[in-house]
Amino acid sequence: MDYIDLEYEPNEKDLIAMYYVEKDISCESIERACHEIAKESSIGTWTDIRTMSEEISERLRPSGFYIDKENNIVKIAYTHELFEADNMSQILSAIAGNIYGMKVLNNLRLLDITFPREIVNVYKGPHFGIEGIRKLTGVRERPLLGTIVKPKVGLNEIQHAKVCGEAWEGGLDIVKDDENLTSMVFNKFEKRVEETLKIRDKVENETGEKKIYMANITAPMSTMRQRADYVIDHGGEYIMLDILTVGFSALQEIREYLDDKNVVVHAHRAMHAALTRNEKHGMTMLALAKLMRLIGMDQLHTGTVVGKMEGGKREVLETNEVITESTISGNNITMLNQNWHHIKPTLPVASGGLSPLHVPDLINILGKNMVYQFGGGCHGHPKGTKAGAAAIRQAVDAVLDNITLEDYAKNHPELNKAIEKWGSISI
């Protein structure tokens, strides 16, 4: 088995991929499955070929160097020469490509990737990162708080801007478009941006607080460039995009295009669960998050633990770690080592089914270095969006002042109404 070498010790120039593997009944062992994965993802094929030289084999052959039969985990080390360093699409075509379709496997899940310095060095990572976002927003000691305009689609441009204004007036920092709101027949992108940023300027002047609007520029690349420019030309400082539906090459290109334009990139993970939810197949959110940090997303949805979206505590905490820490220490089961060198950290975002009542758990589990976004948990407030925003801000103030929500609500009617509405809902 030329692609298995359990004595091999990876060096600093190796890219290491860690997989969960379930072999087919036709495959005699997990060692054979690991061999086939390494072969198919690199220089090998199903039969001996006359064009394979000993020199190519020795120089480029990967090594399956770790096999955990109890947990069905294998690790494969690839020389960096197998990859076009600044081409994430090509890298994934190798380590997450044809291998998923091999008959010798019933299930295959890419758990994690460690990138060597030769690859890390060609990427810029986030332009702003956590510190840059904190500086831009002026929010230092608490989580950033936001909402998503609801309904997702249906409001016209004026109605959309009005909802944004009410959320900002109530105390939220951020309002963003939802993942499927781009430029619709009833809500055109350009007019929505104009009207919403007018309201933003008005509320900033009234409150003295920085307010952020994240316009969704998701589209074909040429249109994304135009939309990003439109946001910037009208005084916008953030754009958002749907990272998986636009694709990895588009992410790299838009990150490069925006490099000197001083705009924060917010990454929505729409479609991720098609890849990440099956615990035996696809890839982990952790692996996807590493890719996003390397490519250069400033903010990334990573999960809530509580709320309506799937994603357990360990998964979310580990994912947040790999995008916020400068050095990652692996654990052989779900995480590999990674030194990010010059790559700035990405700010994690929690969103999905959250109400003000989730705030204590959110801060207790995920901390303050987060963006917390409340959609229905803002607009569903009995007194409307502005009151919903106020209740969210009040809930955060209560937690940071070490006061229970119930006690704080005695003198804060917006939070009290939120408790009346959502207090019976399991969180």
Q: What pLDDT digit, counting tens, does each position of 348-391 carry?
A: 999 988 999 999 999 999 999 999 999 999 999 999 999 999 99
Q: What pLDDT digit, counting tens, does each position of 118-149 carry?
A: 999 999 999 999 999 999 999 999 999 999 99
Answer yes or no: is pLDDT of 246 > 60. yes
In this prediction, residue 165 carries a pLDDT of 98
The reply to whether 341 belongs to the active site is no
Q: What pLDDT digit, counting tens, does each position of 279-321 carry?
A: 999 999 999 999 999 999 999 999 888 867 666 889 999 999 9
- Domains of the chain and any CATH numbers: 14-120 (3.30.70.150), 129-422 (3.20.20.110)
In this prediction, residue 47 carries a pLDDT of 76
Residue of 127, 266, 268, 272 marked active site: 268
The reply to whether 150 belongs to the active site is yes
Which pair of tokens denotes residue 129?
């990162």
| Whether 205 contacts 243, CB under 8 Å | no
In this prediction, residue 54 carries a pLDDT of 82
> Within 10 A of 79 (CB to CB), how many other CB atoms are there?
19
Nearest CA-CA partner of 148 in 382, 393, 388, 415: 388
| % of the chain residues with pLDDT over 90 | 89
Answer yes or no: is pLDDT of 425 > 80. no
In this prediction, residue 309 carries a pLDDT of 64
Residue of 35, 150, 301, 381 marked active site: 150
Which pair of tokens denotes residue 355?
């109400």
- Predicted confidence band at 426 (pLDDT cuts at 50, 70, 90)? very low
- Predicted confidence band at 76 (pLDDT cuts at 50, 70, 90)? very high
**CB-neighbour burial class of residue 164 (10 A; exposed 0-12, middle 13-18, buried 19+):** buried
Q: DSSP letter string over 249-310?
A: HHHHHHHHHTTTTT-EEEEE-TTTHHHHSSTTSEE-HHHHHHHHHHHT-SEEE---SSSSS-
In this prediction, residue 424 carries a pLDDT of 60
